[in-house]
Amino acid sequence: QSALTQPASVSGSPGQSITISCTGTSSDVGSYNLVSWYQQHPGKAPKLMIYEGSKRPSGVSNRFSGSKSGNTASLTISGLQAEDEADYYCCSYAGSSRRVFGGGTKLTVL
Amino acid sequence: EVQLVESGGGLVQPGGSLRLSCAASGFTFSSYWMSWVRQAPGKGLEWVANIKQDGSEKYYVDSVKGRFTISRDNAKNSLYLQMNSLRAEDTAVYYCARDSDLGYCSGGSCYSYGWFDPWGQGTLVTVSS
């Protein structure tokens, strides 16, 4: 099972919006509406930001949103803030209880 | 507060064994699938294994099949990962994560398909001579 494809890095200025893509295949992202997104600050555990493609857990800012088209899922962060600087990982269900993660995207807030 | 606390990591020689533990609190442990996810130094996340609420179904990433065993003790609210025949490429921070309370059954087997929330703080496993 190959990892999902994410850009290695993205950047934006405070107040701007950025989008991180996550490309899989018809066996994972394309087959299920079960993509989740995680934020990880250096030395910390990952934190769930989006689940089932576009749903936000309680306590997560509405500046974070998710979507999917075909085999590609996307995470959009609007109104960028300094504390959004972190690594972001997508994850998709891949059948038979298996999950596959993306390689991660480093977000830099300029 | 939902909390997961891993322990048992350390330095082990190639070919050696290690048993990781994860103590859960703040939620009904027996109602959730549970997973282990690892992260090699400077690398991305990799799902390793998960286990059904009653321990009757277990699934593994191909690279650890036959070497790692996931288990749980619902009476102790604890999750375990027995790691045998360790290799250098198993070096990583291992995270315990609450998996889904959702699942489906097909063809006599049951599967989890949800997200991971929350995660423990992780425990570092280093395989080196």
Pairwise CB contact (< 8 Å): A45 & B95: yes
pLDDT bin (cut points 50, 70, 90) of residue B24 is very high
Res B100 pLDDT > 90: no
Residue A1's pLDDT is what?
63
The owner of tokens 């889904």 is B100
* Burial (CB count within 10 angstroms: exposed 0-12, middle 13-18, buried 19+), residue B114: buried
**Chain B contact set for A32 (CB, 8 A):** 113
For the segment B66-93, the average pLDDT, to the nearest whole number, is 98
- For residues B67-75, give the mean pLDDT: 98
Mutate to test the interface with A, among B2, B62, B113 (most CBs of A within 10 A): B113
| pLDDT higher than 90, residue B104 | no
Contact in structure between A36 and A12 (CB atoms under 8 Å): no
